[in-house]
């Protein structure tokens, strides 16, 4: 594991801020130890609150999916 929870949280918040969200609450962080993939769920706003999921590849330290 290259990244820790703090690094994953920071990467997620920075990405969502760049996407235009003004408030972000990271709700859940899960690491799949077999695939080395982090899944982060965050509650975001300002308009209607919505959940966004960020998928991060731990091996390459990159966001690979945003939904």
Of residues 32, 39, 40, the one with CA closest to residue 1: 32
Give the DSSP letter string of 33-67.
Answer: TTTTEEEEEEEEESSS-EEEEEEEETTTTEEEEE-
Residue 31 CA to residue 40 CA, distance in Å, equals 9
Cβ distance 66 to 54 under 8 Å?
yes
Instruction: Record the pTM.
Output: 0.87
Q: What is the pLDDT along the chain (67 residues), one digit of tens a residue?
A: 799 999 999 999 999 999 999 899 999 999 999 999 999 999 998 867 689 999 999 999 999 999 8
Per-residue tokens: 45: 């706003």
Dihedrals φ, ψ of 57, to 5°?
-85, 115
């Amino acid at each position: 594991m290259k990244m820790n929870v703090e690094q994953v949280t920071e990467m997620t918040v920075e990405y969502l801020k760049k996407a235009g969200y003004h408030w972000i609450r990271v709700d859940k962080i899960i690491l799949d130890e077999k695939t080395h993939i982090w899944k982060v769920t965050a509650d975001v706003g300002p308009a209607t609150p919505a959940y966004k999921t960020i998928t991060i590849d731990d091996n390459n330290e990159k966001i690979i999916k945003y939904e």
